[in-house]
Amino acid sequence: MILTVTLNAALDVTYFVDEVTPHTSHRVERTVERAGGKGINVSRVLAALGHPVLATGLVGGTTGQSVREDLRAAGLRDALVPVLGESRRTVTVVSQRSGDATVFNQAGPHVDLRSWAEFTRRYAELVGQATVVVLAGSLPPGLPDDAYAGLVETARAAGAVTVLDTSGPALLAALAARPDVIKPNAAEIIDATGRSDLAQAAAELQARGARAVAASDGPRGLYAVTRDGRHRAVPPARLRGNPTGAGDACVAALAAGLAAGLPWPEILREAVALSAAAVAAPLAGDFDRVLYEQFRTEVSVETTLLAAPPLEPAPLETTPLETPPCP
């Protein structure tokens, strides 16, 4: 089973318009509301691929109830934990003429210490059932920067592989817990390291604790640094469409490949094919299955193997963060 964690779940509202023009009014041709947040989007993709998946995280208020109802309607299993306050809504405006998307993200509810303690208790129970744990998305207000670090440590103690997709201080703080894979995009990895060279930035994050780094570079594909080498996977064509769910589809493929024990070149081929097929789908969490099957045989992967794997860093003198204090 693959467990996905969305600490800042959302109700995604998508407006489809002919074209987005600043400083004018727009006629909305179609509106879609569905449960979202990065981990939940990953769950949708994994379920569509036939993988057993369970979604957990935090939800609150009537918006949180709408999130859970939508998951049930979609046939997705969840073990979401309630918190005080109201879950956020995200608004995406998609220009149907160009395929571009403009996204507005709310911050999310403030998470108090008691709610976080209840979540970490429930999470510790769930990870014992999981082969891979996906930790994805932003941290809601109230949680410390090292919240993901504690969750990574708990998963490792349970024997699960971790895939982390976050950014900023939460990403940097989690490196000390040595997540198995991190998946920043090009902008996030530059922000984290200050380096514009993707290869150098990925190598730096690996040196700081990540066991593997898979950095997405938009239409240029995926660059990865792993224990056995460096890899670049490139899509066969540049697609127009809504890119908001491409990163989540990429993470889903990484998780599925790790769960299946695939070699890294094959994992990256799947990740690029699936993320490219997601660009062609109108909503995050969906993908074009025909394009996915086509791209699986067309993605090119270049690999430079290392003569020997790097040494493991010395063990950290830390204890798992079961209930880290909230600021």
Other CB atoms within a 10 A radius of the CB of residue 326 amount to 17
3-state secondary structure of 165: strand
Helix (H) or strand (E) holding 150: helix 147-157
Whole-angstrom distance, CA of residue 174 vs CA of residue 146: 6
Distance of CA 264 to the CA centre of its chain: 18
Whole-angstrom distance, CA of residue 265 vs CA of residue 32: 36
Distances (CA, A) of 258 to 13, 181, 192, 229, 313: 32, 10, 25, 16, 22
- Tell me whether residue 248 is one of the annotated catalytic residues: yes
Whole-angstrom distance, CA of residue 136 vs CA of residue 185: 13
Dig out the tokens for 278 from the structure.
Answer: 């997601």
Q: Are 242 and 30 in contact (CB under 8 A)?
A: no
Q: Which residues pair with 269 in a beta bridge?
A: none
Q: Return left, alpha or beta for 214; rule: phi > 0 is left, psi -120 to 50 is alpha, else beta.
A: beta
Whole-angstrom distance, CA of residue 168 vs CA of residue 301: 29
Catalytic residue among 78, 248, 286, 288: 248
Distances (CA, A) of 11 to 44, 69, 106: 14, 11, 10
Q: Are 43 and 75 in contact (CB under 8 A)?
A: no
Whole-angstrom distance, CA of residue 40 vs CA of residue 4: 7
Whole-angstrom distance, CA of residue 128 vs CA of residue 133: 10
Q: Return left, alpha or beta for 2; rule: phi > 0 is left, psi -120 to 50 is alpha, else beta.
A: beta
Q: Are 286 and 278 in contact (CB under 8 A)?
A: yes
Query: Which residues are marked as active site?
Result: 248
